[in-house]
């Protein structure tokens, strides 16, 4: 299993994941991530 890396700045993250900074990155992937994140946060608050 891969170890989870933690980044202190956005620039550090982009160095490891250059596809994120690419303008052609798939918006549907980011939208699905954001929706999942919001559902999780709302679930914690309810």
What is the tens place of the pLDDT at every residue in 1-46? Answer: 455 678 888 888 888 888 777 665 667 777 888 999 999 999 999 8
Is residue 4 included in any domain, yes or no?
no
Is residue 2 included in any domain, yes or no?
no
Report the distance separating Cα 26 and Cα 44, nearest Å. Answer: 28
- Neighbouring residues of 14: CB distance < 8 A, sequence distance ≥ 6: 20, 21
At 2 the pLDDT is 54
Which domain range does residue 21 map to? 10-45
Is residue 24 included in any domain, yes or no?
yes
Is residue 33 included in any domain, yes or no?
yes
At 3 the pLDDT is 58
3-state class percentages of the chain: helix first, strand second, coil last, to nearest 5: 65, 0, 35
At 18 the pLDDT is 80
**Number of domains composing the chain:** 1
């Amino acid at each position: 299993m891969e170890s989870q890396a933690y980044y202190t700045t956005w620039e550090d993250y982009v160095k490891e994941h250059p596809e994120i900074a690419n303008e052609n990155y798939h918006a549907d992937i980011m939208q699905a991530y954001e929706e999942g994140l919001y559902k999780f946060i709302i679930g914690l608050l309810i």
